Amino acid sequence: MSPSPSSPMFRERSERSVAYLHSRFAETADLLAETTPHAAAPLQDAREICTGGKHLRSLLVHIAADRPSGPVPRCDTAVAAAFDLLHGSFLILDDVFDADETRRGRPTVHAAAIARAENEYGIAGSTDPSDAAHYGQSVAVLTGTAALAGALRLITDSGAGGTTTVSLIRLLTDAAGLSMMGEFLDLHYSLPGVEAGADAVRTASHLKTSPYSFSAPLVAGALLAGRDGHTAVLREMGGHAGAAFQTANDLHSVFSSSSRTGKSAAGDLALGRATPLLTAARETAARSELDEILAGGDPSQLKRVRELLHSCGAVDEVITRARDDLAAARTVLADTGALPSPEARAAFAAVLDGISESLHV
C-alpha cells in the first residue's frame, strides 16, 4: 500500500511518536541490560517490527486529535505511539500463528529467536517440546505480550488526565479483545473440518484489524482533544475505512510479490486462511479447483490461484465492496463534524485515497 502523499503536518507528528517509541525501547533496553544480556536480541527484533512500517495508527490518532494550529501535547505523542506498539504486538503474535518467517523483509521475532537457538546455542532441530522452534515461538509470544503490556503502559505514562487515561485504556483493551477474537475465528475457520459462510468470514476479518487499526485510534484522538461526543461517527467512519483497508491487504497478500509486502505471498494460501476473498471464490464454480490446489499446498500453483480468483469474479466482488466502504467513509467525513478542521479532513481523505489506490491487483 502506498503511503498517503498528503498531510505532511500530521505525518511529521506521527514520526515524532515513532521517535518517542524508539526512546522507550532504548530505555527498556538499558533497564534489561542491568538484569541480563540475553533479552537484548529479542527486544531489538521487537523494536524493528514495532517502529517499522508506515505508522498508520499513530497518524490516525494525530489526525483525530485535530490540533491544526498546534502545539501537540505530550499525551498525543505517547498515545499515538501506543497504537503503533499495539500493532507491532499483534504482528509479532500473528507471525507465530501464521508460521511466517519474514516480516518487513526481515526475519520475524520467532524466526530470529529460532535461528539464535540453533546457531548460538546449538539446539538441533527436533520435534521435542524443548526444541528450537518451541523456544523461538515462546520467546515471540512473550515479546508480543510484553509489547501489548507496553502499549498500555505508554498510555498510563502519557500525562493525559485520569479520566481520559481510563477511557483510553478501556478503548485499547476493547479493541485488542476484538482483534484477538478475529484472530481466533481466522484460525478456527481455517481448520479443515470447519466450513464458514461468507458473512462469518467477513466478520472475523473485520474484527481482526479494523477496530484497533482505525476505529480505536480515531476515537483515541478525539478523547485526547476532549471531543468525546464524536465517538460514534468516528467509529462508523473507521469501520468503513478499516474494512476497505483489510481488503487491500488481503489482495496484496495474494497478488503482490513478496519483495513488496515483505512476507511470503503464498503464506495465507498455504495455511488455507479463510479470507473474504477466498470465501467469495469458493462460492463460485472455481471452488473445486481452488480447494484442490490449496490442499496440495504447492507454491508454484500461486499463478493459477491468482487467475482463478480473477476469472471467478471474487476479486471484482471484494473490490466493489471495498469501494462502497470507502464511499461510505467519505460521506461520514463530509457530512458530520467528525473531524473539525479542513486540515484533518484533508489528511483523512488522503488516507482513504491511499487505500483506494491500493485496491487493484
- CA dist., res. 202 & res. 277, Å (int): 9
Nearer CB in complex with its own copies: 192/229: 192
Q: Report the distance separating Cα 4 and Cα 185, nearest Å.
A: 31
Closest distance between its own copies and the C-beta of residue 146, in Å? Answer: 5
CB of 277 to its own copies, least distance (A): 19
Residue 107 — φ and ψ, nearest 5°?
-65, 140
Q: Which is nearer to its own copies, 48 or 101 (CB)?
A: 101
- Pairing mode, strands 106-107 and 102-103: antiparallel
Q: How far is the CB of 356 from its own copies (least distance, A)?
A: 29
Shortest distance, position 172 Cβ to its own copies, whole Å: 8
Minimum CB distance to its own copies smaller for 160 or for 251: 160
For residues 196 and 59, give the distance between their C-alpha atoms in angstroms, rounded to a whole number. Answer: 35
* Residue 21 CA to its chain's centroid (Å): 17
Q: Which is nearer to its own copies, 90 or 214 (CB)?
A: 90
- Work out how close the CB of 51 gets to its own copies at its nearest, in angstroms, rounded to a whole number: 19
Closest CA to 41 of 104, 95, 93, 116: 116
23 vs 119 by CB, closer to its own copies: 119
Neighbours of 91 (CB within 10 A): 22
Per CB under 8 A, residues contacting its own copies are 32, 35-36, 38-39, 42, 93, 96-99, 117, 120-123, 127, 129-130, 134-135, 137-139, 141-142, 144-146, 148-150, 152-153, 155-157, 161-163, 165-166, 169-170, 173-174, 176-177, 180-181, 183-185, 187-188, 190-194, 200, 203, 207, 270-272
- 321, 287 contact by CB (below 8 A): no
> What's the gap between Cα 22 and its chain centre?
19
Give the separation between CA 79 and CA 62, rounded to whole angstroms.
9
Closer residue to its own copies in complex, CB, 91/349: 91
d(CA 101, CA 105): 10
Q: Give Cα separations from 148 to 24, 84, 92, 182, 267 (angstroms).
A: 14, 10, 10, 17, 25
CB of 156 to its own copies, least distance (A): 5
Burial class (CB in 10 A: 0-12, 13-18, 19+), 261: buried
Nearer to its own copies, 176 or 312 (CB): 176
CB of 157 to its own copies, least distance (A): 7
Are residues 13 and 76 in contact, defined by beta-carbon separation less than 8 angstroms?
A: yes
| Phi, psi of 101, deg, nearest 5 | -90, -25
- Quick one: 69 or 121, whose CB is closer to its own copies? 121
SS3 297: coil
In the complex, least distance from residue 148 CB atom to its own copies, rounded to whole angstroms:
7
